[in-house]
């Protein structure tokens, strides 16, 4: 049986990758998702085991040390990681798996699984990214500045990704990712 395609969606904080991810799942219901583990506290409405597995720092460290994470990163003060086994099991069953993770994590996945397809989501401009981050109203001025500085560094390195798309219009961005997935599946003969 053919293995599935591992798709990694990444990009700077505030670029809208979470929205693209949700829309993709609506449009491509056969995609399998991975539930990440995180040390951050659940936000209102978030369900343990659905949005994330919320774990202690100790539990996260033991998962990391036992090789249970496919990749992991510490970003904005919290640790995030992708449990390895469910992803590899689904791929082995021939299912396509979608990860929505930060740039450091995406780089690790590409190194470990060169056959995966990595997609970087770019903002129309850094000014627009700033406007979105400020508009979200969830971060302090200092946090916005830190996220923007990191975003500029990440954007400068986007050439290491297999594909880059610009999220100026959400429908167009989702169409672009779908086209990338379909082309990759065709070229890898996973249909």
Closest Cα partner for 181 from 20, 56, 51, 16? 20
Q: Does 36 bind ligand 5GP (CB under 6 A)?
A: yes
* 104 vs 163, beta carbon nearer ligand 5GP: 104
Helix intervals (H) in 41-140: 57-65, 84-92, 103-112, 126-136
Give the binding range for ligand 5GP (CB under 6 A) out of 100-108, 124-132, 148-156, 165-173. Answer: 100-108
Contact 15, 121 (CB under 8 A): yes
Q: Does 71 bind ligand 5GP (CB under 6 A)?
A: yes
What is the distance between the terminal CA atoms of the chain, rounded to a whole angstrom?
12
Q: Does 81 bind ligand 5GP (CB under 6 A)?
A: yes
Q: Does 118 bind ligand 5GP (CB under 6 A)?
A: no
* 73 vs 148, beta carbon nearer ligand 5GP: 73
> Least Å distance between CB 40 and ligand 5GP?
5
Sheet of 6-10, strand order: 32-33, 97-100, 6-10, 117-122, 163-166
Closest Cα partner for 96 from 32, 149, 151? 32
Give the binding range for ligand 5GP (CB under 6 A) out of 24-32, 57-65, 85-93, 102-110. Answer: 102-110
Of 7, 23, 63, 105, which one interacts with ligand 5GP (CB under 6 A)?
105
* 40 vs 130, beta carbon nearer ligand 5GP: 40
The one-character DSSP state at 153 is: H
**Closest residue to ligand 5GP using C-beta atoms:** 105
Tokens of 39: 């040390």
Q: Where does this chain bind ligand 5GP (CB under 6 A)?
A: 13, 36, 40, 71, 73, 75, 80-82, 100-102, 104-105
């Amino acid at each position: 049986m053919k293995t599935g395609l591992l798709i990694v969606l990444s990009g700077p904080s505030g670029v809208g990758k979470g929205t693209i991810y949700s829309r993709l799942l609506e449009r491509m219901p056969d995609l399998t998702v991975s539930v990440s583990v995180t040390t951050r506290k659940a936000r209102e409405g978030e369900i343990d085991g659905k949005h994330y597995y919320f774990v202690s720092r100790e539990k996260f460290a033991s998962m990391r040390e036992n090789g249970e994470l496919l990749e992991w990163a510490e970003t904005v003060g919290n640790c995030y990681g992708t449990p390895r086994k469910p992803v590899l099991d689904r791929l082995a069953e021939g299912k396509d798996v979608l990860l929505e993770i930060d740039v450091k994590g995406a780089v690790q996945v590409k190194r470990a699984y060169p056959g995966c397809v990595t997609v970087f989501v770019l903002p129309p401009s850094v000014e627009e990214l700033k406007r979105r981050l400020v508009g979200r109203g969830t971060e302090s001025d200092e946090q916005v500045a830190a996220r923007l500085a990191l975003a500029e560094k990440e954007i400068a390195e986007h050439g290491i990704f297999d594909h880059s798309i610009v999220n100026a219009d959400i429908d167009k961005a989702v169409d672009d990712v779908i086209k990338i997935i379909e082309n990759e599946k065709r070229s890898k003969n996973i249909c």
